[in-house]
Amino acid sequence: MKALAKPATENQTAKSSINLIIHGSSNQLCVDSRDIAKEFGRQHKNVLQTLDDLLTDGTISRLESKPRNYQKLGRQYRCFELNEAGFLKAMPFIGGRKSREGQKRLVDEFLRVRRQLDRQAKERETLAYQVARLSGKDSRGILTDAIQQFVEYARERGSQNADRYFSIITNAVYKALVVIEPQATEIRELLTAVQLKILELAELTAAQALTEGMESQQPYKAVFQAMKAALDGAVGPRVKILGG
């Protein structure tokens, strides 16, 4: 299960009170059924009943709506978490005294946060290439340096197999980009120019995530997991590579 990022309250404007949930590096946006009830002016139990009905008749799928629990006054209650597709499909059926206003505010917020996430992703990509250009090294050299630092970092924090991170991280970078069948010995030779650029971005992203994690003094295992999550968000669908 992907890690749950902080709700978008940190990214909200002063006028907005809507909390969207951002899942992992994939940046999947979701909204809580409690927020839907508030924005639409309905009781939460009525929104739950509507969502139950929509799930039963297949209007929204289990992939678009996840059941969750929350605590209030020491008791557990249920709610739903809808992704963008689930919310847009459910929206016409929610109703309520503030239906039009709620629809507008929620859709506007989805679009605003999505634009902000896209802009941040573009800024991270630009920063990665700036680092490469200013250092005078290629992406593989930058990643190698970062892995060497990380190996020492992990060893100082009690890792008994820190040296294994050289191969583990290198393989993680390649696996984020390609599916290799059978194992190819020189992956770079099998990639197109565009794919090579994507690989460079993945290498720089991994190096940047490792460096940022070490600078913030996170546990070495957490740094590694954050690097893997950053890789998931840095590249698109994997490319199948055939080699011998």
- Please state, in angstroms and rounded to a whole number, the distance separating the CA atoms of residues 137 and 178: 23
Q: Which residue has the higher pLDDT, 13 or 72?
A: 72
The pLDDT, as a whole number, for residue 15 is 44
Which DSSP string corresponds to 181-220?
SS--S-GGGGS-HHHHHHHHHHHHHHHHHHHHHHHTT--H
**Rounded (10°) angle between helices 220-234 and 193-215:** 150
Mean pLDDT score, 39-56: 95
Q: What is the pTM of this model?
A: 0.47
Question: Among 29-43, 84-98, 192-206, which stretch is predicted with the lowest mean pLDDT?
Answer: 192-206
Given a cut of 80, is residue 89 above it in pLDDT?
yes
Contact 51, 60 (CB under 8 A): yes
The pLDDT, as a whole number, for residue 186 is 57
The pLDDT, as a whole number, for residue 17 is 66
The pLDDT, as a whole number, for residue 127 is 62
Quick: pLDDT tens for 74-87: 899 999 999 999 99
- Please state, in angstroms and rounded to a whole number, the distance separating the CA atoms of residues 1 and 226: 14
Q: How far is CA 77 from the centre of its chain?
A: 27
Contact 82, 90 (CB under 8 A): yes
Mean pLDDT score, 53-80: 93
Enter the tokens of residue 50. Answer: 């509507």
- Please state, in angstroms and rounded to a whole number, the distance separating the CA atoms of residues 69 and 91: 21
The pLDDT, as a whole number, for residue 222 is 93
The pLDDT, as a whole number, for residue 14 is 35
The pLDDT, as a whole number, for residue 176 is 73
The pLDDT, as a whole number, for residue 128 is 59
Average pLDDT, the chain: 78
The pLDDT, as a whole number, for residue 138 is 74
The pLDDT, as a whole number, for residue 243 is 44
Domain boundaries, the chain: 8-123, 137-241
Any long-range contacts for 32-36 (C-beta under 8 Å, 24+ apart)? 32/68, 32/79, 32/80, 32/81, 33/79, 33/80, 33/81, 33/82, 34/70, 34/79, 35/106, 36/82, 36/87, 36/90, 36/94, 36/102, 36/106
Q: How large a percentage of the chain has pLDDT more than 70?
A: 72
| Band of residue 244 on the pLDDT scale cut at 50, 70, 90 | very low
Q: Closest by alpha carbon to 152, among 166, 141, 171?
A: 166
Q: Which residue has the higher pLDDT, 120 or 65?
A: 65
Given a cut of 70, is residue 7 above it in pLDDT?
no
